[in-house]
Structure 1
Amino acid sequence: MSQQSAARAYTREFGVAMAWYVIVVLGSISLVGGVGQPIKTLVTLAPLIPATFALFAYLRFVSRMDELGQRIQLEALAFGFGAAGMLTFAYGFLENAGFPQLSYIWVFPLMIALWGIGGAIAAYRYR
């Protein structure tokens, strides 16, 4: 599979997964208040289903990349994982100094943002 066709397939697969993610998030937000506790937990976790499909779309995309693309993704993920780890570690200490406590829900978006920065750095180095 060519790089262009792999990118098109990824865009399609990821886009469908994200569209379902938005629908499921909006649905779970509207339903969570009107259900009992066991169902509330399932409704709250429902967005993980389309998010998992998005993850598999990304994994298929990486497996279809050439070696350079895979190397760039590895370096980007290493940067994102390491930098997010250090930032959350540091902020954990700052919470002991009185900084406001943050929800864990912000860790993954931080990792995604830093992965993107790492990808830009790695792609720039290999151009």
Structure 2
Amino acid sequence: MYEKQVARAYHKELWTAIVVYIVLLMGSIKFGRPLAEGALRTVVLLLPMIGFGLMIRAVARQVRRVDEYQRLRMLESIGLAFAITGAVTFSYGFLETAGFPHISMFSVWMVMGASWALVGIARAWFDK
């Protein structure tokens, strides 16, 4: 039962943070892009990072809430995703010097999320 409460609390915190991020992202795009360059525009365009910070907080709180075994598994998965992301982005950096198109830094987070998901799926598949 405790695991369900922990998972519920995590999902509530994470999805709240994601909603905050999306709302701030839409607002920053709508109102920040048309602003003249300067400090105000920079601050408005960075507002979605509040939601991102809340996502980091939700993950950190989840790591503290779970037991030692779950914490070890979670941190191993994050470590593997970090290594995969490093390998993919570093490799693509070499490809850019070979003439491949430049990719936005936003893609790093997408690679990290996909890597984390793939590691989780692989662990669930092979641990049966």
Q: Same fold (TM over 0.5)?
A: yes
The reply to whether residue 28 of structure 1 matches residue 28 of structure 2 is yes
- Alpha-carbon distance change, 124 to 64 in structure 1, aligned in 2, over 3 angstroms: farther
RMSD: 1.5
Encode CA deviations 1:13-48: one digit per residue, 9 max, x unaligned.
Answer: 111111111110000000113323211111111100
Contact 2:35 2:41 (8 Å CA) reproduced: yes
Matches within 5 A, 1:47-58: 47-58=48-59
Contact 2:10 2:59 survives alignment (8 Å):
yes
- Runs of 4+ in structure 1 displaced over 3 angstroms? 123-127
Residues 75 and 118 in structure 1, CA contact (< 8 A), matched pair in contact too: no
Identity of aligned residues (%): 35
Give the count of matched residue pairs. Answer: 127
2:2, 2:65 → 1: CA distance? 8
Unaligned runs of 5+ in 2: none
TM-score relative to the length of structure 1: 0.92
- If the length of structure 2 is used for normalisation, what is the TM-score? 0.91
5 Å-filtered alignment, 1:54-69, equals 54-69=55-70
> What is the CA distance between 1:126 and its match in structure 2?
4.0
- Runs of 5+ consecutive residues of structure 1 not aligned to the other structure: none
